[in-house]
Structure formats: C-alpha cells, structure tokens
Amino acid sequence: MLRRTFPESVPLMDKEHLAATMIEQEVASFGSQGMLMSESCFGELPWNAHARRVAAGHILRGLLIRGRLQAAAFDVFMQLCRQGVCSLSSLEHPVDWVHTSKGDCFKWIRRMLCVFGGVRSDWHALQRSWGIPSTCRWHDYLTPLIWLATMIGRSFTSLDVVFDIIRLKDQLGRVDSDQLKALLLNQPDPDWKSDINLNRSKEWYGSMTFACWLPEAVDPSIIQQEFDDAAIALGKEFYSRLERVEMHYAKFFDISKDVFDADVQRGERDIRDWVRES
C-alpha cells in the first residue's frame, strides 16, 4: 500500500520542473474561481512559479490525497446510481458550494455521511503523517462531502437504502459506533423527497478548492445515455485527471508503475486504510 515517501536524490530539479509543469496546467484549468479561506497555504502554493517547483512534492502529496478522497465519493455515487437509488440527473446542474441548504433533509444526509471515518478526517494529522509541513497545508476540505451529499439529496429514492449501500461499498472508512447510534436516534423523515434543484447555483463558479474534478453542470447529452455509456464517459473524464496526478506522484517519488498499479488493483485507491480518523 502506498505511504508517504521522500524523493531520492537523482535529478531532483528535473523532477521538480516536470511536476511544476503539471501543477501549472492544473492551475490553468482552475479558471477564475475564488479561493476558500480553508484552502490556507496549500491553496496559495500552486499560483506561484517558484513555490510550484520547490514545494512540488508537498503539492503532489496533497493532490493525491484529495484525488483519492474524490475518487471514493465519485465511486460511491456511481454505485448508488447503478443500484437505482440515485440518478445521474443530479449532475446536470452546477453546485453552490458555499450557500448550501439548511434544510433538515440535507443536514441529515451530511450527518449520515459523517458516520464514516474517512469523512471525519483530522486534516492536520493526516497531512502531517504524509510529511506535508504546516506551511503547505490546507485547514479543512469538505468538497467530497458537500458534493456527495448534494448528489444524493437531488435524486435519492430511499435514504435508508442509500446508507446500506454506502456501508456495503465500504469506501468511506469505518463506521463510528457512537455516530451511528446518534444517527439511529434521528431517523430520516419518510416525507422527505429528493430535490433536483438542491444547492443549485445560477451559474457555475467552481468549488473554490484547488484540483476539484468531481462532475457538476454535466452536459445533458452525457447523462441521458444508457447508464454504462454515461458512466464510462464520466469516469474517463474524472480518472484522467487523477491518473495524471498519480503518474507524476510515482515519478517524483520513484515508485515503480508495477507497485502503483498493484496498489490500485488491491482497491487501495480508496481511503479505508490511510485516512487518519478523528
């Protein structure tokens, strides 16, 4: 299983230059989005040419952590859609990442997701364990949680079944028994209905977090295909971004492709084994 590692001494400057070029391309795809305060130091590094190079390793670590957390959320939602308890139609509208719903249904969905350990990450402890110094860290990272909760809230058919599938899917970390007991004391209201306009912004303005690849405002022609065709198209777009980061991470830290591929094949692209839980 992949752990944080340190680059070997062989042409470090060449590695930094190669990684910095990729990071610059990621910055270019960020567009004109603002930046959340929770992005802190990590959000500022990619915008400075010198920092992109000298902090390349730390940025790559952060991108890998974020990418795999997003992958867990993405895979869970696609499984919910495949099982018919959510719909890809959730992806058609842009997300309002800041002004989220205060309604009881959405709050319950968020509490339900927070039963899983990976969603309750101690971000500073996690980044410290990966060797990311305090000068390069973010403060909080709610993007996968908000995205998954929004997509569920827009199209769920049964929140009980949604929870059961997520638990069986086992990609969001261990279930916290105390959190689960609290959730069971507050069952979902049977009158709650999904709302396709939940957390819908009038126009796309992004998550305001660096390197967010989770789909939103998707072209209707994609999601109106047969599920397998739509899933392939969505997965290709998402995983091309993640795989690019993984490739650069492996090159920078001298991890062989065989080791990296074996890590992915064992299912360790998800977060069960390496996200430190609070």
DSSP symbol at 86: S
Bridge partners, 95 (sequence order): 200
Residues contacting 193, CB < 8 A, separation 6+: none
H helices of 2-83, where? 12-30, 40-44, 49-54, 56-82
As a whole number, mean pLDDT of residues 172-181 equals 89
Question: Mean pLDDT throughout 189-198?
Answer: 97
Q: Which residues pair with 200 in a beta bridge?
A: 95
Helix (H, G, I), strand (E, B) or coil at 258: helix
Averaged over 198-221, what is the pLDDT?
94
pLDDT of residue 6: 58
How many Å apart are CA 256 and CA 8, to the nearest integer? 13
Q: What pLDDT is attached to residue 45?
A: 96
CA-to-CA separations, 221 to 84, 148, 157, 161, 215, in angstroms, rounded: 19, 22, 23, 28, 14
Q: Does position 274 have pLDDT exceeding 50, yes or no?
A: no
Res. 8: pLDDT tops 60? no
Give the model confidence (pLDDT) of 21-30 as tens digits: 999 999 999 9
CB distance 246 to 67 below 8 Å: yes
Whether the predicted pLDDT of 278 surpasses 50: no
Residue 31, phi-psi category: left (phi > 0), alpha (psi -120 to 50), beta (remainder)? left
For the segment 40-93, what is each residue's pLDDT rounded down to a tens digit? Answer: 999 999 999 999 999 999 999 999 999 989 999 999 999 999 999 999 999 999
